[in-house]
């Protein structure tokens, strides 16, 4: 302990927790800091957590770590947390409802001051400090992307190009962000939009597309760029050229979208802002400040996978 290196005991606490402002002499403070540095002393987090009842850790629960969209979200959240002196504990629910409940149990027992749920519906009784990402349970703080606008931009783009038979390849996840896409399309195109769903897996998305193609759409709007990749696969299999025979629009603007052949037209969003925003809202909640839900802007990136129908 630094106590014997210095002269005192609770003084150390005052100094190291930054609460010595105007209470500890500059000289004593220097001595303490020096001793701490020499001994490589660090306050014990567990003891602090026990005493203060705060863990300086937040939990992030995510449906699927494997999805490329998730990385930047985590980066945003983690960096914002880092700046605020918080650690991020991560739970991957792996699309498994059982694990979802179980992992939440674990987290609740854990030393987290709050939680962010990414594309996961927060369980009942998650406590006060919860923010939902890309999900918007009533009465709960949330951060999400302007899905409605994104869908509208994409569909209007297709409409402007002259398409009339537009299909929808959706995620099979029953999350709000995806339900919104359905509604937004219905608002523009009516209720009889050809619709198939698939998990975020190229091959499965490919077979779902094959089913969708039976309705002979001239364009397909996809809930996500991976699903769009499945459309590319299906088009290749059927000998359909993109965009001549089939226009494709994705969502997310994942990095590989520009590498696809042809480069994918897609709705771009800023995943880091999503993560960072979620943490900031959570921090407000933790600090007892009023937390405002946020809706992040989107942008349509027109590349070469869309063209007028033949």
Nearest to 93 by CA among 133, 127, 65: 65
Of 30, 39, 52, 237, the residue at the interface with DNA (CB under 7 A) is 52
Does position 16 interact with DNA (CB under 7 A)? The reply is: yes
**16 vs 161, beta carbon nearer DNA:** 16
Residues in the chain, total: 310
Of 39, 50, 102, 187, the residue at the interface with DNA (CB under 7 A) is 50
199 interacts with, out of a second copy, DNA, none, CB within 5 to 8 A per kind? none
Q: Which residues bind a second copy (CB under 8 A)?
A: 42-47, 49-50, 55, 57, 64-68, 70-72, 74-75, 78-79, 82, 85, 87-92, 94, 99, 103, 106-111, 201-202, 226, 229, 232-233, 236, 255-256, 258-261
For residue 85, give both structure tokens: 């002196």
89 interacts with, out of DNA, a second copy, none, CB within 5 to 8 A per kind? a second copy
Does position 8 interact with DNA (CB under 7 A)? The reply is: yes
Q: How far is the CB of 31 from DNA (least distance, A)?
A: 8
**36 vs 282, beta carbon nearer DNA:** 36
Q: Which stretch binds DNA (CB under 7 A): 17-25, 66-74, 75-83, 140-148?
A: 17-25
Does position 39 interact with DNA (CB under 7 A)? The reply is: no
Nearest to 154 by CA among 28, 17, 265, 36: 265
Q: How far is the CB of 299 from DNA (least distance, A)?
A: 45
Q: How far is the CB of 292 from a second copy (least distance, A)?
A: 26
**160 vs 237, beta carbon nearer a second copy:** 237
With beta carbons less than 8 A apart as the criterion, state whether 244 and 307 touch. Answer: yes
Q: How far is the CB of 98 from DNA (least distance, A)?
A: 25
With beta carbons less than 8 A apart as the criterion, state whether 166 and 218 touch. Answer: yes
CB atoms within 10 A of CB 277: 24
Q: How far is the CB of 45 from DNA (least distance, A)?
A: 8
Q: How far is the CB of 295 from DNA (least distance, A)?
A: 36
Does position 10 interact with DNA (CB under 7 A)? The reply is: yes
Nearest to 135 by CA among 125, 148, 144: 144
**7 vs 256, beta carbon nearer a second copy:** 256
Rounded to whole angstroms, the Cα distance separating 16 from 77 reads: 26
Q: Cα–chain-centroid distance for residue 174?
A: 16
CA 275 to each of CA 56, 112, 187, 235, 278: distance values in angstroms, whole numbers, following the listed order: 17, 17, 29, 34, 5
Does position 1 interact with DNA (CB under 7 A)? The reply is: yes
**151 vs 209, beta carbon nearer a second copy:** 209
Rounded to whole angstroms, the Cα distance separating 10 from 28 reads: 12
For residue 107, give both structure tokens: 């987290």
**15 vs 77, beta carbon nearer DNA:** 15
> Which residues lie across from 62 on neighbouring strands?
92, 118
CA 292 to each of CA 80, 124, 125: distance values in angstroms, whole numbers, following the listed order: 17, 21, 20
Alpha helices per DSSP H over 133-248? 147-161, 176-189, 202-212, 225-238
In this structure, is the dihedral angle defined by the CA atoms of residues 242, 248, 249 and 255, taken in order, positive or negative? negative
16 interacts with, out of a second copy, DNA, none, CB within 5 to 8 A per kind? DNA
For residue 302, give both structure tokens: 């027109």
Which residues are near DNA by CB under 7 A? 1, 7-11, 13-14, 16-17, 19, 22-25, 27-29, 41-44, 47-48, 50-53
């Amino acid at each position: 302990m630094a106590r014997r290196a210095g002269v005192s005991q609770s003084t150390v606490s005052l100094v190291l927790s930054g609460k010595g402002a105007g209470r500890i002499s500059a000289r004593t403070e220097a001595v303490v800091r020096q001793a701490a540095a020499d001994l490589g002393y660090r306050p014990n987090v567990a003891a602090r957590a026990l005493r203060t009842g705060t863990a300086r850790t937040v939990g992030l629960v995510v449906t699927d770590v494997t999805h490329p969209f998730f990385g930047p979200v985590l980066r945003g959240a983690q960096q914002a947390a880092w700046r605020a002196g918080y650690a991020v504990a991560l739970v991957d629910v792996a699309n498994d409802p059982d694990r979802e409940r179980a992992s939440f149990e674990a987290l609740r027992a854990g030393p987290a001051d709050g939680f962010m749920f990414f594309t996961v519906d927060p369980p009942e009784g998650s406590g006060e400090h919860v923010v939902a990402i890309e999900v918007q349970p009533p009465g709960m703080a949330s951060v999400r992307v302007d899905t409605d606008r994104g869908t509208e931009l994409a569909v209007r783009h297709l409409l402007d190009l002259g398409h009339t038979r537009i299909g929808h390849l959706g995620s099979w996840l029953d999350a709000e962000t995806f339900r919104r896409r359905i509604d937004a399309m219905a608002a523009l195109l009516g209720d009889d939009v050809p619709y198939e769903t698939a998990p975020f897996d190229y091959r499965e998305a490919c077979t779902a597309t094959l089913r969708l193609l039976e309705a002979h759409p001239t364009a397909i709007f996809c809930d996500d760029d991976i699903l769009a990749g499945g459309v590319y696969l299906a088009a290749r299999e059927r000998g359909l050229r993109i965009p001549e025979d089939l226009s494709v629009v994705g969502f997310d603007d994942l990095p590989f979208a520009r590498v696809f052949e042809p480069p994918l037209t897609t709705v771009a969003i800023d995943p880091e802002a999503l993560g960072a925003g979620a943490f900031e809202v959570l921090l407000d909640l933790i600090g007892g400040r009023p937390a405002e839900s946020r809706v992040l802007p989107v942008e349509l990136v027109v590349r070469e996978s869309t063209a007028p129908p033949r």
